[in-house]
Amino acid sequence: MNSQTHSALIWTPELSVHMEYLDNQHRSILRLIDTWWNKLNSGKFNATKENLAKIFSFLNRFTQQHLELEERVLDILEDHFDYSTETVAGHKMRHQVFRDDIMGHFHQDIMLRARSGDNGMDQLRPIAKWWVSHIKTEDRGYADVLAALTPERREDLYVHLIDSLLNRPIVIVGYKQFIKALRQTS
Ligand SMILES: [Fe+2]
Ligand SMILES: [Fe+2]
């Protein structure tokens, strides 16, 4: 990973999707990748199969919890705010490809490499790139809609979102838990 890609991993306000919680999740995902990458790069990460599996599972859980929450917001925008059904379907498809193909291959790859003593560091690069590009393109679509909401409509959106979360809660993993687990991988 070169320094350009590396600096792109810092969340900046231009990546904002105009909903604080989703912004925080994006920020956490980028920080997680960046922190893991730094640790791998410093040579302090002990790339055992267990350690790789543990840290991968954090990245995967951060990914799942974010994509799920974002899809709830997309559903609400589609159902109550005239947001295009095709756009929502396309966006969800991108998420599905990332979950199944990109993260699936990443997992297989690091597990195979663990056996040969390789830490799979270079495999983090496409993952990081995907996030930055996805936030800047697909996520930008709904971000523009959120930015244009009146305070009343934004309130409506939150009411629908709280309803959705009460009906089907999303289990959230915190960044501190990840840092604690990462400390144990030296
Ligand atoms: Fe997102
Ligand atoms: Fe997205």
How many angstroms separate the alpha carbon of residue 63 from the centre of ligand 1?
A: 9
Residue 157 lies in a domain: yes
**From ligand 2's centre to the CA of 176, what distance in Å?**
23
Determine the pLDDT at residue 10. 85
pLDDT of residue 88 exceeding 60, the answer is: yes
Structural domain contains residue 17: no
pTM > 0.85: yes or no = yes
Q: Which domain holds residue 71?
A: 26-183
pLDDT value at 5 more than 50: no
Whether 52 maps to a domain, the answer reads: yes
Statement: residue 3 has pLDDT above 80: no
pLDDT of residue 47: 85
Query: Over the chain, what is the mean pLDDT?
Result: 91
Please tell me the total count of domains within the chain.
Answer: 1
Any domain includes 21: no
In a domain, 161, yes or no: yes
Mean pLDDT lowest for which of 21-35, 76-90, 113-127?
113-127
How far, in Å, CA of 27 to CA of 168, rounded?
Answer: 24
18 alpha carbon – ligand 1 mean position (Å): 11
pLDDT 10s digits, 100-128: 999 999 999 888 877 776 766 677 888 99
How many angstroms does the Cα of residue 98 sit away from the middle of ligand 2?
10
User: Ligand 2: distance of its center to the CA of 75 in Å?
Assistant: 12
Give the model confidence (pLDDT) of 133-184 as tens digits.
999 999 999 999 999 999 999 999 999 999 999 999 998 888 899 999 999 9
CA of 139 to the centre of ligand 1 (A): 6
Whether residue 23 has pLDDT greater than 50: yes
- Asked whether residue 5 is domain-assigned, the answer is no
Nearest CA to 109 among 127, 94, 129? 127
Is 7 part of any domain? no
pLDDT at 117: 65
Return the ligand number nearest the Cα of 98: 2
Q: Is residue 38 part of a domain?
A: yes
**Core vs surface per residue 65-93: b (16+ CB within 10 A) or e:** bbbebbebbbbbbbeebebeeebbeebbe
**From ligand 1's centre to the CA of 143, what distance in Å?**
10
Q: How far is the CA of 137 from the centre of ligand 2 (A)?
A: 9
Residue 54 has pLDDT above 50, yes or no: yes
- Ligand lying nearest the CA atom of residue 138: 2
